[in-house]
Amino acid sequence: MSKNLVGKIALVTGATRGIGKGIAVGLGEAGATVYITGRTLEPNHNNSLGGSLQETETAVIEAGGVCIPIQVDHSDDEQIRQLFERIEREQNGQLDILVNNVYAGVQALREAYGKPFWESEPSFWDAANNVGLRSHYVASIYAVRMMTKRHEGIIFTISSWGGMSYIFSVPYGVGKSACDRLAADMAKELKEYNVTSLAIYPGIVGTEQITSFAQEQSLENGNSPSFGDGYNWETPLFTGRAIAALASDANIIKYTGKIQVVAEVAKRYGFVDQNGNRPVSLRSLRFILAMGIPFLRNYAGLIPDLTIPWLVILFSMIVSKF
């Protein structure tokens, strides 16, 4: 990867493992100085999923970046405020990239999986959207106060295809749709200050949490959920490389307010995933046909990688509800 982000200051929230760690490493590959946050500072061998700020720091340094881990609980607004005060103090007011990634609702989603929303307690909403949607908004406030002074900066808000159609649960989908709207509406107010705001859609990412969840479902039900068979999965680094590529684009403001699909960004900028392949977008004809007709996966390379327009996708989702 090119070192296009040398001299740039980035913050990735929720980077102890999973997509956040992949993003931090991707920005490190491109030469950025990367602040990372999370609740777990040191490795905890009693945690089956693993992950810590120190382990991510090591991975970022090995990738060629500079990493500064800061232990933060994003459910506490005061800790978030202090985080940005520290970055402003240490970097003389410079913050080029904010990645709103932190999310604390995975365990709640696992516990509620397969249940209608009314069988969960109202607190499920907060578990899905407090450290996630709300914390993204709070972090963006403090980041923008720095970025607008310098008339430059990028905010990436990690969202999901759940913002377009039902996935997992009601609170999850509403929260991800709101993330998309957060990115779009911030873009409206920030454009005159040359600050870009984007929503990012990874594909099916084989994080520690998703892999564990898929294995659980396979054992309980005798088969895997629709996302759990590994076909066209992405690694967390794929999202990191997408964000690094976008952040390196001198004309990124042209995308402000829009959703950027990681696999489509890879195709546009010509990079590959960690294992050297390039997964396709979930709205690619290749993916849709291979998922709908599994035996076609053996011949997926023969199916054109044509991107289905958003309007067609949205219309098909609306029709499918009736």
pLDDT digits (tens, 9 = 90+) for 165-182: 899 999 999 999 999 999
Confidence of residue 32 (pLDDT cuts 50, 70, 90): very high
Q: Is 132 left (phi over 0), alpha (psi -120 to 50) or beta?
A: left
- Set out the domains of the chain in order of their start, with CATH numbers: 9-278 (3.40.50.720), 283-322 (no CATH)
Catalytic residues: 172
**What is the Cα–Cα distance from 266 to 239, expressed in whole angstroms?**
9
pLDDT attached to residue 230: 79
Is pLDDT above 60 for 320?
Answer: no
pLDDT tens string 235-279:
999 999 999 999 999 999 999 999 999 999 999 999 999 999 999
pTM equals 0.92
pLDDT attached to residue 171: 96
Q: What is the overall mean pLDDT for the chain? A: 91
Q: Which residues make Cβ contacts (< 8 Å) with residue 103, sequence separation at least 6?
A: 14, 131, 132, 158
For 44-48, 130-134, 272-276, which range has the lowest pLDDT when averaged over its residues? 44-48
**What is the Cα–Cα distance from 176 to 199, expressed in whole angstroms?**
10
**What is the Cα–Cα distance from 49 to 233, expressed in whole angstroms?**
19
pLDDT attached to residue 202: 97
Select the highest-mean-pLDDT range: 43-47, 132-136, 212-216.
132-136
Tell me the three state secondary structure of residue 100: strand
Is pLDDT above 50 for 322?
Answer: no
Edge-to-edge order in the sheet of strand 195-201? 66-71, 33-38, 9-12, 97-100, 153-158, 195-201, 259-261
Whole-number percent of the chain with pLDDT over 70: 88
